[in-house]
Amino acid sequence: MAKATYKDAGVDLDAYARAMARLPRLIARTNTPRVLRLERGFAGLFQLDFDNQLFARKYKQPVLVSCTDGVGTKLKVASAAGVHNTVGIDLVAMSVNDAICCGAEPLFFLDYVAMPKDDPPLLEQIVEGIAAGCVQSDCALLGGETAIMPDLYAPGSYDLAGFCVGVVGRKRVIDGSAIVPGDVLIGMASSGLHSNGFSLVRKIVFEIAGLGVDDRIEELDQTVGEALLQPTRIYARAVRQVLSHYRVKKIIHGIAHITGGGLHENLERILPEGIQAVVDRGSWPTPPVFTWLQRLGEVDQAEMDRVFNMGIGLVLVVSPFYAQSIRHQLKRADVQSWQIGRVREGPQGVVWRRSDE
């Protein structure tokens, strides 16, 4: 009778070692001066501030901000297309964009990759994207975990989870409580679908329309795979630049990351009692990927608004006096923005109106 081995059970430790050997150069790209080396350790080390007075952050009552998210069924599109070096950017974006809603500076990121078998080239592609997202966010990829579970995941599939930790001074926490009537809504452009609503997207594109990832969409001048795998935009640098510009005054009263639930649900969650956000429909151009999906699946407008970001990935609620200045700064940071509405007294929530009303 043959002796049982871990490899026979589906886990090849030699392949795992080869996979791990591919990652240090990618992780090194993300290292910041506050990352402390710990060779062969079981955790990552990160110092909150610098000893050097020239670069010291000098946080006042520092508050740690933590969040976690995944990429969802967008991973199935990546697997179908055989493109795995962009979903890591999505993974970082979904957590980092949440962290900056509190006004936090992202510090470091941890990843969790679950696969059915050891696949060094695939793992390298995934981590390549994660590292790229961390570089865009100015945060360190401090550590992570790769789990090989052959009986839990089907061949060709994998899952990702990410965890971000940031910091903000207690008096500079942005929680929406400062939002007042008259404040302006600034919508920051999304890069497309981001990482939400992909169960509906896949149903429309692959089941209803019967398209494949390599089919070309003339009106988008892209293949299906290219359109659906556009990475989530990371807003960390742009928002940090605005916050750093106004270090004395707290002129951003609220920030909402527009994910599943759309503008309505995500903007509503930061509004105080008795405060209503009025969003002007038509005040920004809807990216063609959304109009294409809506037509393809004959989706009601209310359903589109509820599921997708519709072209707005982040909303800043700001003092009207500074709105134009903030938009100029966002433009310099290469982020397009629009004034998409205002805040008024009323039942807590979000209402829509046509921009010509």
Which residue ranges form the domains of the chain, and what is each CATH number? 13-172 (3.30.1330.10), 184-354 (3.90.650.10)
Angle between helices 236-245 and 87-99 (to 10 degrees): 30
pLDDT of residue 248: 65
Helix 74-81 × helix 87-99 angle, to 10° = 160
Tokens of 244: 């750093």
In a structure prediction context, what are the per-residue pLDDT tens digits for the chain, which is 357 residues long? Answer: 678 888 888 888 888 888 888 888 998 899 988 888 887 778 999 988 887 776 778 888 999 999 999 999 999 999 999 999 999 999 999 999 999 999 999 999 999 999 999 999 999 999 999 999 999 999 999 999 999 999 899 998 999 999 999 999 999 999 999 999 999 999 999 999 999 999 999 999 999 999 999 999 999 999 999 999 999 999 999 999 999 888 767 889 999 999 999 999 999 999 999 999 999 999 999 999 999 999 999 999 999 999 999 999 999 999 999 999 999 999 999 999 999 999 999 999 999 988 555
Quote the tokens at residue 223.
């293949």
Give dist(CA 246, CA 298) in Å, integer. 45
Q: 């059915």: which residue's tokens? A: 116
Q: What is the pLDDT of residue 127?
A: 97
- Burial label for 188, CB within 10 Å (0-12, 13-18, 19+), is buried
Spatial neighbors of 291 by CB under 8 A, at least 6 apart, are none
Q: Which residues of 263-298 are buried (b: 16+ CB within 10 A; e: fewer)?
A: bbbbbbebbeeebbbbbbbebbeebbbbebbbeebe
Residues 181 and 148: their CA atoms lie apart, in Å, by 52
Secondary structure of the chain in the HEC alphabet? CCCCCCCCCCCCHHHHHHHHHCCHHHHHCCCCCCEECCCCCCCCEECCCCCCCCCCCCCCCEEEEEEEEECCCHHHHHHHHCCCCCHHHHHHHHHHHHHHHHCCEEEEEEEEEEECCCCHHHHHHHHHHHHHHHHHHCCEEEEEEEEECCCCCCCCCCEEEEEEEEEEEHHHCCCCCCCCCCCEEEEEECCCCCCCCHHHHHHHHHHHCCCCCCCEECCCCEEHHHHHCCCCCCCHHHHHHHHHHCCCCCCEEEEEECCCCHHHHHHHCCCCCCEEEEEEECCCCCCHHHHHHHHHHCCCHHHHHHHCCCCEEEEEEECHHHHHHHHHHHHHCCCCEEEEEEEEECCCEEEEEECCC
Amino acid type, 264: H
Please report the pLDDT score of residue 356 as a whole number: 58
pLDDT recorded at residue 141: 97
Instruction: Show the tokens assigned to 121.
Output: 């080239």
Note the Cα 62 to chain centre separation in Å: 24
Q: How many CB atoms lie within 10 A of CB 355?
A: 12
End-to-end CA distance of the chain: 81
The predicted pLDDT at position 357 comes to: 55
Return the biggest CA–CA distance within the chain.
81
